[in-house]
């Protein structure tokens, strides 16, 4: 098939990814100007796609007046990230957090309120109060879908974006992709593009060995990170991996954020608390890892001391929301919160700014380093965004992209040669016979990520891991897809290989330890602020090679003061007379 045989679809604003940030971005662009042609493209189906396909049980980063201020939040998230954050982006989030809660409330998303009608805020973080439960949060996707229909956003389901397009001036020009059920290619020309493609959650292998038993929705496999890299955008701090505390084998969140305010906590095998605070940070994960591997391990979620009515409340929330098959998992092992602590473990590694801090670099307007390309949600670099951050940056990107599209005169020119080459790349696995199935190649590269890149990181091991990952890349000409669905997986495994290589190279570049377990290098164990108090950049240079650089940390809007080391003191201290 030639590029000229494929009709080009023209839009003003294209949103790639219809999970959390994407629908908000598309609706916002339409709110800015109903005459804009806005398309939302989704690899699955917008009704049930992304990280919150079954809803969400709470806001983990709500800045609600009377309970906290944007300044307090920016300070705490800066401390939790060992100082390496873009504070203007955090502040833009923090200031819009409460208006976004009110907007979602007016759309019918239910948040927990106390008897006076005030939002029922809970303290989970080390310093401030930012958690707002949503026990009835299972309907979020339905509410978003209604808004998309009301604003007449054009929705294209079951299309996988494979590459972004640029014009001759280096500005974004659209994308090329493929239908996941028919293998038909699609070319979209756009004046502005918003990426909301989620985490890179399928680069490590869960300890269960089940390829799709990941912490993240496995459709979030890093396509966006790979596309951003190939179009020339900067990625930031990729060595700051996501590693989360989870229910062992089930691999869903243990939900200390839900159980903590009700009296549950993370315990060691003796049933003792060993961390001061269950909020996810690299420092907390390092203490978790030490306990897991130490003589008091493994680690458990402890609820068996709680009253019956409290346990029923916890079961109602956790077994109907976000990951509702959790109850079924416990039933299968006859685990009862009343009688047993629940075994926990750590997740496979990934890139996810929702819980960690790495991703495609964006500033406080959601802009990447490619003009006209924006990023929101788990794939963009704003630290600890969670669901509310995805909504806020979806909104910010919707505004920015609408303005960019309106200011741009005429549709961009497309690079025919690039499109022809990309069509060939897409169709190649369908033409291979007696080749390597995508699942086998995927298992191999993800097993290498576990063996060689999972912290504690060791330089020589990572170098070997990188060589082994590159050897898998050499096998790509033999990658075979026997049907359109396998082609989807074949395109995904190429993104996974890109992300694995980026994870290795980024981890080798930063020769210090930072962010607790996330970038714990055994042979460079100290934090070295003199050399590494900076963001790291990873980008494709003019020769097509993976290159690195440093980006200074922007001047702080909020000083850290005497609490600056608070997250270095997460282990429970034994009293001197104990």
Partner 1 sequence: MPTATQRTSVPVIVDEDKCIADKGCTVCIDVCPLDVLWINPATGKAHMRYDECWYCMPCEADCPTDAVKVEIPYLLR
In the complex with partner 1, the residue whose CB is nearer, 69 or 139, is 139
Q: Is 107 in the site for partner 1 (CB under 8 A)?
A: no
Q: Which of 147, 128, 118 is nearest to 27 (CA)?
A: 147
Beta strand 373-375 with 185-195 is parallel
Beta strand 38-41 with 154-156 is parallel
In the complex with partner 1, the residue whose CB is nearer, 154 or 335, is 335
Six token digits for residue 37: 């042609």
Q: Is 431 in the site for partner 1 (CB under 8 A)?
A: no
| Among 6, 31, 33, 47, interactor with partner 1 by CB under 8 A | 47
Site string for partner 1, 441-480 (x = CB under 8 A): -------------------------------------x--
| Among 135, 232, 261, 324, interactor with partner 1 by CB under 8 A | 324
In the complex with partner 1, the residue whose CB is nearer, 159 or 391, is 159
| Among 39, 382, 405, 488, interactor with partner 1 by CB under 8 A | 488
Q: Which of 466, 82, 535 is nearest to 285 (CA)?
A: 82
Nearest-10 crossing angle of helices 70-80, 87-107? 120
Name residues whose C-beta falls within 8 Å of residue 351's C-beta, 6 or more positions apart in sequence: 199, 200, 203, 222, 225, 238, 241, 242, 358, 359, 379, 499, 503
Phi-psi region of 462 (alpha: psi -120 to 50; beta: other; left: phi over 0): alpha
What's the closest the beta carbon of residue 47 comes to partner 1, in angstroms? Answer: 6
Q: Is 208 in the site for partner 1 (CB under 8 A)?
A: yes
Beta strand 154-156 with 159-166 is unpaired
What's the closest the beta carbon of residue 325 comes to partner 1, in angstroms? Answer: 4
Q: Residue 353: how many CA atoms within 13 Å on its side-chain side?
A: 34
Which residue has tokens 């001391």?
305
Q: Which of 496, 510, 550, 548 is nearest to 227 (CA)?
A: 496
Six token digits for residue 65: 């007046």
| Among 105, 152, 184, 212, interactor with partner 1 by CB under 8 A | 212
Bond prior to 298 in cis (omega within 30° of 0): yes
What's the closest the beta carbon of residue 214 comes to partner 1, in angstroms? Answer: 7
Q: Which of 319, 321, 365, 360 is nearest to 342 (CA)?
A: 319
Distances (CA, A) of 449 to 96, 238, 323, 440, 461: 37, 14, 26, 15, 11
Beta strand ranges found along 248-329 (DSSP E): 265-267, 299-302
Q: Applying CB under 8 A, which part among 161-169, 209-217, 300-308, 395-403 lies near partner 1?
A: 209-217
What's the closest the beta carbon of residue 317 comes to partner 1, in angstroms? Answer: 15
Q: Is 181 in the site for partner 1 (CB under 8 A)?
A: yes
Helix H or strand E encompassing 308: helix 308-318
Q: Is 435 in the site for partner 1 (CB under 8 A)?
A: yes
In the complex with partner 1, the residue whose CB is nearer, 330 or 457, is 330
Six token digits for residue 298: 């493994």
Q: Applying CB under 8 A, which part among 56-64, 228-236, 302-310, 482-490 lies near partner 1?
A: 482-490
What's the closest the beta carbon of residue 55 comes to partner 1, in angstroms? Answer: 10
Vertex 37 angle, CA 31 and 42, to 5°: 90
Q: Is 261 in the site for partner 1 (CB under 8 A)?
A: no
Q: Applying CB under 8 A, which part among 86-94, 247-255, 281-289, 462-470 lies near partner 1?
A: 247-255
Q: Is 219 in the site for partner 1 (CB under 8 A)?
A: yes
CA atoms of 402 and 166, how far apart (whole Å): 18
Q: Is 217 in the site for partner 1 (CB under 8 A)?
A: yes
Q: Is 325 in the site for partner 1 (CB under 8 A)?
A: yes
Query: Total residues contacting partner 1 (rule CB under 8 A)?
Result: 40
- Quick count: other Cβ atoms within 10 Å of Cβ 304? 17
Q: Is 332 in the site for partner 1 (CB under 8 A)?
A: yes
In the complex with partner 1, the residue whose CB is nearer, 49 or 400, is 49
| Among 53, 335, 427, 527, interactor with partner 1 by CB under 8 A | 53
Q: Is 249 in the site for partner 1 (CB under 8 A)?
A: yes
Residues that bind partner 1 (CB under 8 A): 44-45, 47-50, 53-54, 157-158, 180-181, 208-214, 217-219, 249-251, 323-325, 328-329, 332-333, 434-437, 478, 485, 488-489
């Amino acid at each position: 098939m030639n590029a000229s045989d494929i009709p080009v679809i023209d839009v003003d604003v294209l949103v790639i990814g219809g999970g959390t940030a994407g629908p908000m971005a598309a609706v916002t662009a339409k709110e800015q100007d109903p005459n804009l042609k806005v398309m939302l493209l989704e690899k699955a189906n917008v009704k049930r796609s992304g990280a919150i396909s079954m809803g969400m049980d709470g806001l983990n980063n709500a800045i609600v007046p009377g309970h906290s201020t944007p300044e307090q939040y920016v300070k705490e998230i800066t401390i939790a990230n060992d100082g390496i954050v873009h504070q203007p982006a955090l502040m833009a989030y923090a200031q819009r957090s409460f208006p976004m809660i009110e907007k979602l409330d007016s759309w019918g998303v239910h948040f927990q309120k106390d008897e006076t009608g005030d939002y029922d805020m809970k303290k989970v973080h080390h310093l401030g109060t930012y958690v707002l439960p949503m026990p009835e949060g299972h309907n979020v996707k339905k509410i978003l879908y209604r808004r998309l229909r009301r604003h007449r956003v054009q929705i294209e389901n079951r299309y996988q974006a494979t590459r972004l397009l640029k014009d001759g001036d280096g500005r974004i020009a659209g994308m090329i992709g493929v239908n996941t059920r028919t293998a038909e290619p699609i070319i979209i020309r756009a004046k502005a593009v918003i990426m909301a493609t989620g985490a890179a959650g399928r680069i490590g292998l869960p300890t269960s060995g089940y390829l799709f038993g990941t912490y993240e929705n496995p459709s979030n496999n890093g396509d966006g990170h790979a596309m951003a890299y190939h179009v020339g955008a900067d990625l930031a701090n990729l060595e700051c991996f996501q590693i989360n505390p989870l229910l062992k084998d089930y691999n869903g969140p243990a939900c200390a954020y839900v159980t903590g305010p009700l009296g549950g906590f993370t315990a060691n095998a003796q049933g003792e608390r060993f961390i001061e605070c269950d909020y996810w940070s690299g420092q907390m994960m390092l203490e978790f890892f030490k306990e897991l591997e130490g003589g008091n391990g493994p680690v458990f979620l402890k609820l068996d001391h709680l009253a019956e009515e409290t346990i029923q409340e916890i079961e109602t929330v956790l077994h109907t929301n976000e990951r509702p098959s959790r109850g079924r998992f416990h039933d299968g092992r006859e685990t009862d919160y009343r009688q047993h602590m629940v075994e926990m473990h750590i997740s496979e590694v990934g890139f996810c700014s929702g819980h960690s801090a790495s991703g495609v670099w964006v500033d406080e307007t959601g802009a990447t380093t490619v003009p006209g390309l924006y990023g929101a949600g788990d794939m963009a670099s704003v630290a600890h965004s969670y669901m509310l951050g995805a909504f806020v940056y979806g909104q910010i990107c919707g505004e920015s992209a609408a303005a960019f599209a309106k200011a741009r005169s005429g549709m961009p020119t497309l690079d025919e040669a690039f499109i022809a080459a990309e069509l060939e790349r897409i169709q190649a696995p369908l033409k291979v016979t007696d080749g390597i199935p995508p699942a086998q190649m995927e298992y191999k590269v993800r097993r290498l990520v576990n063996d060689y890149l999972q912290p504690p990181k060791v330089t020589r091991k990572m170098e070997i891991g990188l060589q082994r990952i590159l050897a898998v890349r050499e096998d790509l000409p033999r990658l075979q897809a026997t049907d359109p669905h396998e082609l989807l997986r074949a395109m995904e495994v190429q993104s996974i290989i890109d992300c694995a290589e980026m994870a290795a190279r980024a981890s080798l570049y930063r020769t210090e330890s930072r962010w607790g377990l996330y970038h714990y290098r055994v042979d460079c164990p100290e934090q070295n602020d003199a050399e590494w108090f900076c963001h790291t950049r990873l980008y494709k240079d003019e020769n097509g090679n993976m290159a690195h650089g440093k980006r200074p940390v922007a001047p702080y809007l909020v000083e850290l003061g005497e609490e600056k080391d608070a997250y270095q003191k997460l282990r429970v201290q034994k009293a001197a007379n104990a």
